[in-house]
Chain A
Amino acid sequence: MLPEIGNIFLIISFLLFSAQLALSFKFNSLDLKYSFFDVIKRLSFFSYILVLTSFFILIINYVSSDFSVLNVYNNTHTNKPLIYKITGTWGNHEGSLLMWLSVLSLYGLLFLIFIKNLPKRFAFKVMATLALVNLGFVGFTVFTSNPFIRTFPIPSEGLGLNPVLQDPGLAFHPPLLYLGYVGLTIPFSFSIAALLQGEVTREWAKWVKPWILISWIFLTLGITLGSWWAYYELGWGGWWFWDPVENISLLPWLLTTALLHSVKVTEKREGLKSWTILLSILAFSLTLLGTFIVRSGLLTSVHAFASDPARGIFILTFLVIVTAGSLLLYGIKLEKIENKKNIYLVSREGGLLLNNIFLCASAITILLGTIWPLVIEATTGQDISVGAPYFKIVFLPLIFPAIFLSGVSINLNWKVTNLDYLYSRFWKLMIVFIFLVSIYYIIYDVPVLILLGVAATIWMLLSVIGDFFSKLHDKSKGFKINLNKTKKIRLSIYGMYFAHIGVAVFILGVSLSEGMKTYYQGVESLNSKIHVENFTITFFKLDKFKKENWFSETGTFLVKKNDNEFKMKAERRVYLDTGMPSTEAAIKRNFFSHLYIVMGQEQPIGSGKRIIRVYHNPHIIFIWLGAIIMAFGGVVSLIDYRKSFFRKL
């Protein structure tokens, strides 16, 4: 009975969203009477609750292992621990789509809570846009990917969850990433509403900024967690593979980062208005494109799970309608929202604009590389792939200038900054910068790429420190630093500092770990010794035993470094329900570095020998630490914007 209720709830919400949309179109030109606005509000509130309830019902079906539901039968098993029964709900196409919808509903509800701060006419248009997006996704779920379809006869046991997904990562990575992706619907709707109104104001920028920040924070955390998960679960010793699905998640992040910077210009200087609107439309379109690419199975990817072209066509149609529609509207209204003010290159907003260009250019290169195989396949029929070498060669030259400019523009003022000021501000910074970089080079004598990365890190940190101290300067008292001024600096500035420090730490992690990692691979029998860096690793013991729902082969390694000795355990699992194997790497942290051991299957069979891979990844923790600091900076900024959330109009 429950699945039918879930299904009916979804269908009702589909009808309600259509009704809301139809009403919005019909009464768009009328003066909004209080009662009518309220009706629309309740209508969308009710639809959101219906969607959330149906997601809850699906979770209950999973927990109770109701195998009469086809989706449950395909993706779970009674011998699973409770946590993986719950997370299994979104470990498959249909379930994850319903989760996508639920996250959209959560944002819808959150919007309704804060709606009182917005002018009614504007809020009304935002609700209508949200209804349209909801309609598309509910339709997609109900008609092409319905999770509530029954099967008969009722199977007695489920097929089980893919072992790679049987991990705490599944509990957090997809929800966080979806909170980021789907959150972009709100800035998109705000932009569409602004276009329909025909005006973009500083107020508008203040309203939309917190929503962009929320998305950005979740995107940052979601991607970081995904990278960490891939690092420890796949056993490849790497944290980013330039896989299409990874690229597709990076694209909205790059555009949202650009958007955060450009909306700042709109807020402070009423500049870059049309650019901000365009970016929010594109960022949202890219999340749709990402869904299309992942769900249609058009690209070969390590993330590609069984897929269905019919679904791809539905999303593609939706993508084209939404993107083309929005861009058309943008084109029509462009003249009305056009910037009247000039932007000078040597100013904060000029720096932000340049930075935006680099961020967007890097996004374009990644997009091109990701969809290139589709283009070539469609035009020549040849199957090709574009891998890491391409992305490295095009991404790096774009990202270094972006970092340099970002350090510069932090230290520039709004409006015009003359060149004398620029010079007086930067000559000290430059000297310290060159001094530090040379010291580093003299001490460590590293290859050019690492040096470049370290230099970028130092530059970013120096620029933040430089700006911080200039804000503490008490001009009336000569050149003394006044620490009381720390309280006067706005929280959003501190947030920006943290985010940029996060970028610096991230770059440091990437440069050092990529530049100095070492790797060993060999076939080892018991008690043989491996030498990697200063470590002596002995293949000490191999145990075979049955665990909860898998059969385990656990290799114990005795690791010795100087006088320090410890054990590491690398595991190979064979899951009992699916019979699928999975590797669990042994990872030992030492300060910010990792020793990482993977044990393969017996090779050749019967010999008792195992392929062992050992990675030493120096300072790799900085990569994820940096990303977390970035997200933390976002949260600090968000606190500053709470006023525009809670303020009553």
Chain B
Amino acid sequence: MKQKYKRLNILLIFMIAIGSTIFFVLKALEEKIVFFYSPTEILNKEISLSELIRVGGLVVDNSIVFDSSGLEVLFSITDKKNILRISYKGILPDLFREGQGIVAEGSIDKGKKVFLAKKVLAKHDENYMPPEIEKMIRN
């Protein structure tokens, strides 16, 4: 009988441990996930100004402009329906170029005019297209 209680206790501790882990993990997931939007979705959806989001698209030809200091760059991305202007401070990835599919992480400015990017990601492989962008362009 004692043996059984012991097992039950251990099982109970196990369940509580697993349960609380899952609870905290899901809570962390809920807080830390970053949503991905296309330029069209940015225009049509309610997105709060402070929220960290990702946007993706193809870099528009002849859209890359540096400011006079050279540290800040402005460029546009498109999903072939709408265009989104992006401002970014920093070194662009090696594979960043016109026509390339890129993903930017940051937040949207007031009036949804400019996306303030904290990170710009382009991929290792020139043939590679992020799955989100591929899906977006296919639609």
Binding site for B on A (CB under 8 A): 162, 164, 235, 297-300, 302-307, 342, 357, 361, 364-365, 368-369, 372, 376, 382-387, 389-390, 393-394, 397-398, 521-523, 578, 580-583, 598, 600-601, 603-605, 607, 609, 611, 613
Contact = CB atoms under 8 A, between A and B. Distances in A.
B21 A383 contact: no
Given A365-B25, A578-B126, A601-B92, A387 B32 contact: yes
Interface in B1-36: 3, 6, 14, 17-18, 21, 24-25, 28-29, 32-36
Given A387-B34, A600-B92, A306 B128 contact: yes
Contacts of A609: 70
B125 A383 contact: no
Contact of A604 (B66, B92, B124, B126): B66
B29 A583 contact: no
B69 to A, nearest CB: 6
B9 to A, nearest CB: 10
Given A304-B128, A305-B125, A386 B29 contact: yes
A389 B91 contact: no
A385 B104 CA distance: 12
6 contacts: A368-B25, A383-B132, A384-B36, A385-B54, A603-B73, A604-B66
A302 B128 CA distance: 10
A376 B33 contact: yes
Given A368-B29, A521-B90, A580-B95, A382 B35 contact: yes
A607 B128 contact: no
A586 to B, nearest CB: 14
Contacts of A365: 21, 25
B33 to A, nearest CB: 5
A162 B33 contact: no
Contacts of B69: 523
Contacts of B130: 300, 304
B111 interface: no
Interface string B95-139: 100000001000000000000000001011111101110010000
A385 B52 CA distance: 11
SS class of chain B's interface: helix, strand, loop or mixed? mixed
Contact of B131 (A162, A298, A398, A607): A298
A305 B28 contact: no
B94 interface: yes
Residue among A299, A397, A523 facing the most chain B CB atoms (10 A cut-off): A523
Interface of B: 3, 6, 14, 17-18, 21, 24-25, 28-29, 32-37, 54, 66-71, 73, 89-92, 94-95, 103, 121, 123-128, 130-132, 135
A604 B92 CA distance: 12
B119 to A, nearest CB: 9
A611 B32 contact: no
Contacts of A521: 71, 89-91
A603 B131 CA distance: 30
A601 B22 CA distance: 45
B5 to A, nearest CB: 13
A523 B71 contact: yes
A461 B42 CA distance: 52
A308 B37 CA distance: 24
A306 B34 contact: no
B124 A162 contact: yes
B125 A162 contact: yes
Contacts of A598: 91
A390 B33 CA distance: 8
A580 B95 CA distance: 7
A372 B29 contact: yes
A607 B33 CA distance: 40
A432 B37 CA distance: 54
A394 B33 CA distance: 13
Given A372-B29, A523-B71, A384 B34 contact: yes
A306 B71 contact: no
Contacts of B73: 603
A307 to B, nearest CB: 8
A384 B132 CA distance: 9
A518 to B, nearest CB: 16
Contacts of B127: 305-306
Nearest to A386: B33
Given A306-B128, A583-B94, A523 B70 contact: yes
Contacts of B28: 390, 393-394
Nearest to A309: B131
A348 B63 CA distance: 64
B36 A383 contact: yes
A181 B94 CA distance: 31
B106 to A, nearest CB: 13
Contacts of A581: 94-95
A398 to B, nearest CB: 8
Closest 10 interchain pairs by CB? A604-B66, A383-B36, A390-B32, A523-B70, A600-B91, A306-B127, A603-B70, A305-B125, A581-B94, A383-B132
A46 to B, nearest CB: 37
A162 B125 CA distance: 7
Nearest to A579: B126
A305 B128 contact: yes
Contact of B70 (A382, A393, A583, A604): A604
